Amino acid sequence: MRKLVALTLFALVPCLVARAADEDKWVTVKGKIVWDTAKGAPPKRTPQVATKDEEVCSKDKDFVKEEWVVNEKTGAIANVVVWLAPEPTAQQIKDLESRKLRDFPSFQANQIHPTLAKPEKQQVEIDQPCCRFIPHVLVARVGQDVLIKNSAPVPHNAKWTSRNNDEFNPLIPSGGQHLVKSLKSEKYPIEVGCTIHPWMKAWVRVFDHPYFAVTDAGGNFEIKNAPVLGGKLRLFAWQETAGLHGGAAGRTGHPIAVKAGTQDLGEIKFEFKASDEKK
Ligand SMILES: [Cu+2]
C-alpha cells in the first residue's frame, strides 16, 4: 500500500510542477478608463432626436447620443476598445515609426493561452430593437460571424463600411437578419450605420487574437490569460470620437509591465488631442 501511495505521488508531482510553470506564463490585465477631469468636464449625454419612426424610438429608455458615454460623477468611459500586443523589437519600433512596418506586431499562435485558441462562440450579434444598434461597440475575432438582427417593428438597414470585410447595405425588414460570415482581421474600425435612421451608428473591431475588451458602464475592462512574454506588453485603447488613447502616438500603444497573475493597471486617464476628435 505504501508503495502504491509513493508511486501515485511520484506520478502526480510532474503534473503539479508542469502546471505551476505554466501558470507563470499568463496574466490577466485589468483597469478602468476614465475622463481626465483636470482637462475639463466630460461631455454630457444629450437626448437623441428621432426624425422618423418616433413612436418606435421613444420605447427605448436609453435613447441618448452615443458618441461619448461618460459617467458624469465618476468620469468612467464606456465603449472604449482596449487590446494588447506583444512588445515589439527595437527594429520593429523603428520601422513602425518610419512606417516601413505598417501593422503592429501581433501575438503568435503559440503565445495564445490554450483555452483561448478558438473563439468562445462562432457567432456574435448586433440587434436593432428600437432605433439604435445594440451593442453600440462590438469586438470580434477573426473567423467569427456577425449576425445583424432587426427585432424592431419597422425596417432598418446595416450600411457596413470596412477595408477587409466588404461594403454592403442590406435592407433588414422587421424580424429579419443579415449574416456577415467569417470576419477577417481589421486594423481600423468597421462602421455600421442605418440610412433609414441616419443617427444610428455601431462600430465593430476585429482582432487576430483574443486579447481585447470593451469597457463597461464603469469604465472597466479585463483581458484574461494574456502571455507574460518578457514582462512587457503594449496596451491600446480606442474611443470612437477621440480615436486612439494618446492621439497619433497611440498607434504604437502604451508599454505596460506585467507579471504572472492579475495586473491591475488602475485608473487610466484617457488622453486625446482636440484635433483628433471627430465631431
Ligand atoms: Cu434604422
> Per residue in 52-66, pLDDT tens?
999 999 999 999 999
- Residue 195 and residue 171: Cα distance in Å, rounded? 10
The domain that holds 82 is classified in CATH as: 2.60.40.10
5 part of a folded domain: no
Res 37: pLDDT: 87
Tell me the residue range of the domain where 104 lies. Answer: 25-42+77-113+215-279
279 domain residue, yes or no: yes
The answer to whether the beta carbons of residues 130 and 56 sit under 8 Å apart is: yes
Give the chain's domain count: 1
Residue 199 lies in a domain: no
Measuring CA to CA, how many Å separate 128 from each of 15, 78, 101, 200, 254? 49, 19, 39, 9, 35
Q: Which amino acid is at 201?
A: K
The grid coordinates listed for 278 are 471627430
**How many whole angstroms from 190 Cα to the centroid of ligand 1?**
17
Task: Please state whether the predicted TM-score (pTM) of the whole model is above 0.85.
Answer: yes
197-234 pLDDT tens trace: 999 999 999 999 999 999 999 999 999 999 999 999 99
The owner of cell 490569460 is: 225
195 CA distance to ligand 1 centroid (A)?
7
Predicted local distance difference test score (pLDDT) of residue 2: 52
Neighbours of ion ligand 1 (CB under 5 A): 156, 194, 196-197, 200
- Does 124 map to a domain? no
Closest CA to 249 of 219, 271, 279: 271
97 assigned to some structural domain: yes
**Dist. CA 158 → ligand 1 center (Å):** 8
Has residue 121 been placed in a domain? no
Taking the centre of ligand 1 as the mean of its atom positions, its distance from the CA of residue 131, in whole angstroms, is 6
Mark the ranges of the chain whose per-residue pLDDT is less than 50.
Answer: 1, 4-10, 13-18, 277-279
Cα(123)–Cα(239) distance, rounded to whole angstroms? 24
Q: Give all strands of the β-sheet with 145-149 in edge-to-edge order.
A: 123-126, 145-149, 177-180
Dist. CA 122 → ligand 1 center (Å): 26
Residue showing cell 450579434: 125
Query: Going along the chain, which residue ranges are E strands?
Result: 26-35, 81-86, 123-126, 137-141, 145-149, 156-157, 159-161, 167-168, 171-172, 177-180, 190-193, 201-207, 212-214, 220-227, 232-239, 243-244, 254-257, 261-270
Beta bridge partner(s), residue 83? 212, 236
Distance 159 CA to ligand 1 centre (A): 10
Q: Are 207 and 82 in contact (CB under 8 A)?
A: no
Q: How far is the CA of 176 from the centre of ligand 1 (A)?
A: 13
> Ligand 1 centre from 174 Cα, in Å?
10
State the pLDDT at residue 97.
87
In single-letter form, the type of residue at position 87 comes to E
Within-domain flag for 8 = no
Q: Is 38 left (phi over 0), alpha (psi -120 to 50) or beta?
A: alpha
